[in-house]
A and B are shown apart, each in its own frame.
Chain A
Amino acid sequence: MNETNGNSRNKLHGLWALTNRELKKWLKEPILLVMAVLQPVLWMGLFGKAMNLGGMFSTSNIDIQNRILPGSALIPAQPGYITISGTVLSQMFADMGSSVMQNIFGVADYFSYMSVGMISFIVMFTTMFSGMSMVWDRRLGFLNKVLSTPVSRGAIIFSKVLNAALRSMFQATIILILAVIFGLQVSSTFNVINILGVYAAIFLLCAGLSSVFLALALRSTKQETQMAIVNLINLPLMFASNTFFPISMMPDWIQAIARVNPISYLTDALRQLTVLPMDVSLLTIDFAYLCIFAAVFSAIGITLSWRFLTK
């Protein structure tokens, strides 16, 4: 009775079984699903709509009067005084507003900018908390149980990474759909194939980030430690990046962090693929960085986990 000899088909079998377990747990809990969708909706509402940066240039609430200016303000200069109508000024103010927005954010409305950043936000959170399920598996003895079966050690680690990636992709899809419903403007270069690029970028970030958090989870015996680490670094990672605001507007020292922060590259890749007119050279840099990040950090994470799993 040796139908259980390890071969590559069995390796995939084990990997799928473990991933499927996690996904099933997630899908069986409708509350979790609803929360997973509601949270980004709330954030999009609060950040994207409430922080209406484009609205600052709206003139609907300001009564702009006619202005009298010296003729020297005109090109070529005119003698005496001239009167500019308030309506023209309002129009100029609004025009300047949208070019300021275009200049800073690359898109005309903050909502489009921010809702794509929202995807990075969700991906980051989902990935960081993927370590938590490892802490539980360890505590409840499930990890030891799995370790006593012939399933490959790699499959144990990779199932968690895959689970984080699949969940992130699912959530990203929902956010994108909702954002479009709420008024996200896709760029002229957007087409359906870009969605595959979005998934690829998300997968790369998940692979790198969750490998590291898994290694941490395997090593920390208390889940409080894991929580503390997640809580400590999630906000800096989030705000020292271009997720909610462009890097160019930040002070130098934050810029320095933001330029090595993988979240910035994920967010930029996602924007290039959806709301910005695609700049292939920038997109290539984004993907190159994400690939290197994924390779280096999964190597570190997997080495650390491996040492623990074969102690």
Chain B
Amino acid sequence: MSEEIIKAEGLTRVFYKHLTAVDHVDFGVKQGEIFGFLGPNGAGKTTTINMLITILKPTEGKASVLGFDVAKQNNEVRNVIGVVPQEYTADEDLTGLENVLLCADLYGIPRGLAKERGADLLKLVELTDFKDKKVQTYSGGMRRRLELACGLINRPRVLFLDEPTLGLDVQTRTATWEYIRKLKKEFGMTLFMTTHYLEEADALCDRVAIIDHGKIVVVGTPEDLKHSLGGDLITLATKEDDDVSGLIQKIDHVKEVRKEDGSYRIKAELGEMTTPLIIEALRKNGYTVTRLSLTEPTLNEVYLEYTGRSLRDAEESRESVFSQRMIMRRARH
């Protein structure tokens, strides 16, 4: 049974009466999954997350978290969710431990319990050795981990992550993914995250919704989305000059063959299995394959297919540009 933990129906947010940031969005997030919102900056990801975490009211439509309405029962929602914002919100002048305890205080968690949980969480994100150091001295990855620990202090049933690895370098990003997986395993939460990194959505999410201009374009598992494009791309060349397109076309799972500049671009399902069949068939007919490559589609192609564009940076408000700059600067710290 897959209970829907987060549910949005016709969720809409309009700013300044004419700027529709989120436009009648419907989706459901199932118990225990990692659900990702993928889209460029300005697509409406953060606005959606802000409505779900009760800091923005929907203009229209509704959403619920664990059955609590985000607009009407916001305090109930706040108690069962954890939030890791895209900014580094930890106080620079306080130590890691002090920051975690501050978060605990905001949930009204008694000091004794807070200290116990804080110590556990800091151990989990491997910050125990740095817990008494000021956050000023932390690296980008350490700050991210501290934010994760803060977001989990109230043992949330749903964790919201807004751009969890924004501004981090590749190694730190991969390491952060590991921490997210580990924490999810430890606490068995449902995760809702936004990202504009395709690799991130691919690596972490069970299901992805691609959002563009405030609308959900498509929802599915990363695998399904990739398959929906019609399979893998096989490129090959033969020694002989004859056109073998007809021959390849007959092979199972091959969907499309095109000859371009002496090589063949073949769209096929189950590329790993189809490729040997193609080579086999060509050899039987006396042709020699001189060059071959197999490319699996990435979410990037999926993204292109559904939005008609590559991930682009939309025009943004001064404030959000400033805040992104701050995040980048701290991440590089």
Give the interface of A toward B (CB within 8 A): 1-6, 9-10, 13-14, 16-18, 21, 24-25, 28-29, 139-142, 144-151, 221-222, 310-311
Contacts and interface: CB of A to CB of B under 8 A. Distances in A.
A28 B93 contact: yes
Contacts of A142: 87, 89, 91
B326 interface: yes
Contacts of A6: 75, 108
B314 interface: no
Contact of B105 (A17, A148, A222): A17
B320 to A, nearest CB: 10
B85 A141 contact: yes
A29 B94 CA distance: 11
Contacts of B86: 141
B55 A4 contact: no
B125 interface: no
B57 A140 contact: no
A17 B318 contact: no
A217 B253 CA distance: 62
A3 B83 CA distance: 18
Interface in B69-118: 75, 78-79, 81, 83, 85-89, 91, 93-94, 98, 102-103, 105-110, 113
Contact of B155 (A1, A149, A221): A1
Interface in B285-333: 318-319, 322-323, 326
Interface of B: 50, 53-57, 75, 78-79, 81, 83, 85-89, 91, 93-94, 98, 102-103, 105-110, 113, 150, 154-155, 160, 318-319, 322-323, 326
A222 B57 CA distance: 24
A140 B75 contact: no
A25 B107 CA distance: 21
Nearest to B93: A25
A148 B79 CA distance: 9
Contact of B106 (A17, A28, A221): A17
Contacts of B109: 3-4
A2 B80 CA distance: 9
Contact of B55 (A3, A5, A148): A148
A2 B68 CA distance: 15
B105 A14 contact: yes
Contacts of B88: 140-141
Contacts of A28: 93-94
Contacts of B81: 148
Contacts of B105: 13-14, 16-17
B89 A140 contact: yes
Contacts of A141: 85-89, 323
Contacts of A9: 108
Contacts of A21: 91, 94, 102
Given A21-B94, A144-B55, A151 B106 contact: yes
Contacts of B85: 141, 144-145, 148
A139 B322 contact: yes
A29 B91 CA distance: 13
Nearest to B327: A141
Contacts of B93: 24-25, 28-29
Task: Please name the 10 residue pairs, one residue from A and one from B, whose CB atoms are nearest each other, closest first.
Answer: A141-B87, A17-B105, A10-B108, A149-B106, A150-B78, A145-B89, A148-B83, A147-B55, A148-B53, A151-B106
Given A24-B94, A144-B85, A221 B319 contact: yes
A139 B83 contact: no
21 contacts: A3-B109, A4-B109, A6-B75, A10-B108, A13-B108, A14-B105, A18-B106, A21-B94, A25-B94, A141-B87, A141-B89, A142-B91, A144-B85, A147-B54, A147-B55, A148-B78, A148-B81, A149-B83, A149-B106, A150-B75, A311-B56
A25 B86 CA distance: 23
B60 to A, nearest CB: 15
A23 to B, nearest CB: 11
B8 to A, nearest CB: 17
B238 to A, nearest CB: 57
Contact of A24 (B50, B89, B98): B98
A300 to B, nearest CB: 22
Given A141-B88, A311-B57, A17 B319 contact: no
Contacts of A310: 57
Nearest to A12: B108
